[in-house]
Amino acid sequence: MDKEKKLEMEKEIAEERAEEHMFDQAAVDEVMKKYDRESNTRVWEGWQKWVVSAVLAAFSLFSIYVTLFATWLDLIRYPSFLGCIIVIGYLTFPIKKGEQKVNSMPWYDWLIMLLGAGAFFYVVVNAQSLTVRLGTMNIKSYEIAIGVIGILSVVELCRRSVGLPILCVAGVFLIYALYYYWFGRGFGPARAVRQVTIGLFFQTTGVLTTPIQVCAKFIVVFIIFGAFLERTGISDFFINLANCVAGSSSGGPAKVAVISSALCGMVSGSSVGNTVTTGSVTIPMMKKTGYKGEFAGAVEAAASTGGQIMPPIMGAAAFLMAEYVGVPYSNIIVRAILPAVLYFLGIFICVHLEARKLGLKGIPRSELPKFSHLIGKIYLLLPLVILVWLVSSGTRTMAFAAAISIVAAVVVSLFNKEHRMTPLSFFDALAAGAKSCITVAAACGMAGVIAGCINMTGLASKLITAIVSVSGGHLIIALFLTMLCCIILGMGVPTTANYCIMASTCAPILIQMGVPQMAAHFFVFYFGIVADITPPVALAAYAGSAIAKAPPMKTAFNATKLAIAAFVVPYILAMNPAMVLVDTTAFEVVQVAITSILGILALGIGLEGYFKGTVPWPLRVVALAAGLFLIYPGTVSDVVGLAVVAGIYLFQSFVHKKDAPTAA
């Protein structure tokens, strides 16, 4: 009888947990739909779902084939890629957010899809003829109409999948380009539209410029690789590993969130998506431990956003940066290590000090995963290791490395019985990879519009002149103005497209002002990324607040505070690029690493107001100043900063000496 009761109780508990999980998953889906436009997709069921999935999977296979084997003309390869994106994009995204009619696609969506895709495939079919005629600008009137339709179809797809902020920016540049030719060059309205359309649609200087080229050649294959990697169960491995490493320490769940989000975020390429998926596990754990909701949501948002700057993947931006800057991929990831360490160390220190201030404990070791169990699944990292090794070796192309890594992910999954890949899950991974490509490609298309407008009008030199004029030649002011531009341009844009926009628009400004190319690209990339946690448009922070049931703006400001390193380090590396190993020696690198880590500790003390006990306000201000001195590379600033930090340590140790036994 007791045995039956026990079984009955276990069954009830299991059912309760299942119900909780269903509720949690429903809540996660709701948050994703609210803050992540990629989740607002059409609902296909039955045979229609299989047909749409087959089209998506076919696109993935087509992209892999073209990337590895095709030797097509640019006017064949890139328009065919965008034509396919238009097809799968309109099959996936409805005209408005929240449209949930099953198996419904209105006639006007079919019309836009066919006309938009047809415009790009027209270029593919007539590539040879257009290549000859573009030299003399001999483009017919009906072809201009085709070009306008093609551009508008990309604009509308971007609105549906990415959102309005990037369209507002692109719209400003587009209006300026029309104004430039209409009034500045005296072309008149018809000729101005003709000139802009040729530049943005038919030539490889607009929609088909570098962002789409890199997307078609590299990003698409890495996104597909990411879809396969997810299905190996690597996210669960990362979360369990983080629990094993930091779960039992003071305020353990928050530290788990920092580590797991850093590892998962570098692969996902989406700050918002990673905040929601990882945060659905970590944020409730943090709140249960005793952290306030706004702090818990902020920790997850800041860590997930930082995942985009985490080498070796950096949300696929590392491969883009190598292409833009013209250096080997291995060169990029080595230079990205110290800034990334400082970013996450800053969050980790703030989390630890907050936990000590609140007297929070960790998770009992008995409830944590066993290290012996995790070590048995270390093989899940093999696809990532193969990817980094192949790309770093320089013997194979990045696309080939990604393709081999996809195969490795499939093989690795066979040894994991919980996530073993079947033909159905293989098909699902292909379809999911294609769906994830839509948003990135649409945003890259808009980045191409922005870059095209800047190049054809000579606006870049005017922007540089304006910023130099406003800054009065002072680099710090120019950096501040560029930072504002990056945060505005980066609002709500996926990582890879975000970097494309920054590299095309903002990096040249800094390079012209004497900032080394590598440092300039890191500067604009970092500030483009932190747009996701910077008010007022802090989508990752708002997503974290929704899960934590906390005030959105409070969460956003907490996330900004936690990510303080991301707002300080770019300035330092722009003014003295030793931090990214430019024009430096081994001794200077060691010096910069040690003093920067101490500087981040000082900033954490100043922001949290706690170190061995409560830190008074005047001392907090001194700690913040000392942190900035230490982070800035230079012997004098380092000595001053070290002296101040040592003084703070001695003062706090003396004042709170009697509290030491209690704290222990």
Residue 93 is predicted with a pLDDT of 92
User: What is the C-alpha to C-alpha distance for residues 347 and 556, in angstroms, rounded to an integer?
Assistant: 14
Residues 6+ apart with CB under 8 A from 160: 37, 89, 93, 94, 95
Amino acid at 302: A
CB of 596 closer than 8 Å to CB of 342: yes
The first and second tokens of residue 190, run together, are 């018809």
pLDDT in the model for residue 18: 41
Question: How far lies 596's CA from each of 483, 544, 604, in Å?
Answer: 21, 29, 12
- Full 3-state SS string of 284-342: HHHHHHCCCHHHHHHHHHHHHHHHHHCCCCHHHHHHHHHHHHCCCHHHHHHHHHHHHHH
The tokens describing 523, both together, are 């500067």
Q: Which residues have a Cβ under 8 Å from the Cβ of 566 and sit 6 or more positions away?
A: 305, 306, 309, 343, 526, 527, 529, 530
Whether the CA torsion 19, 23, 28, 32 is positive or negative: it is positive
- Give CA–CA dist 252/351, Å, rounded: 9
The pLDDT assigned to 303 comes to 87
Q: What residues have CB less than 8 Å from 402, skipping those under 6 apart?
A: 218, 221, 222, 224, 225, 387
Kindly report whether the peptide bond that precedes residue 364 is cis, defined as omega within 30 degrees of 0. Answer: no
Distance from the Cα of residue 428 to its chain's centroid: 23
In the chain, domain spans = 2-166, 585-664
Q: Tens of pLDDT along 203-257?
A: 888 899 888 888 888 888 888 988 898 888 888 888 888 888 888 888 778 888 8
Chain length of the chain: 664
> pLDDT below 70 — which residues of the chain?
1-39, 98-100, 265-269, 315-316, 394-395, 658-664
Q: What is the pLDDT of residue 27?
A: 62
The C-alpha atoms of residue 426 and residue 420 are separated, in whole angstroms, by 10
Residue 100's pLDDT is 65
